[in-house]
Amino acid sequence: MSNKIGKAAYRPVGVLMGLAAGALAGVIFRQVWKMTAGDGEAPNPTDEDRRWAEILAAAALQGAIFSVVRAAVDRGGAVGVRRLTGSWPD
């Protein structure tokens, strides 16, 4: 199949996988935050009672988890499309 078909096949799959990746990253982040901070919920940046260090640490952790999950899902989706279509989606 042509590369254009591979790209077209990946586009809707990529959107759905992106949504799933975001949800999965949120679940992972909440679990990691509970284990590391011992707190039930991550701090809200506008919470007056939370320290800067805690808010920035939560944001950095959340960003790192989201990026790793998103990269893994994108890569897995691209590999799956290549297996189905024979073309790597660019």
List the chain domain ranges: 3-85
Q: What is the pTM of this model?
A: 0.80
- Say which DSSP state 45 is in: T
Token pair of 78 as six digits:
């691209």
Cα within 13 Å of Cα(74), Cβ side: 11
pLDDT band of 6, cuts 50, 70, 90: low
Read off the pLDDT of residues 32-60 as tens digits, 9 standing for 90 and up: 999 988 877 889 999 999 999 999 999 99
Query: Average pLDDT for residues 64-89, to the nearest whole number?
Result: 88
Percent of residues, the chain, with pLDDT higher than 90: 53
Residue 14 is predicted with a pLDDT of: 81
Q: Which of 36, 5, 17, 12 is nearest to 77 (CA)?
A: 17
Residue 70 is predicted with a pLDDT of: 92
| pLDDT of 24 strictly over 70 | yes
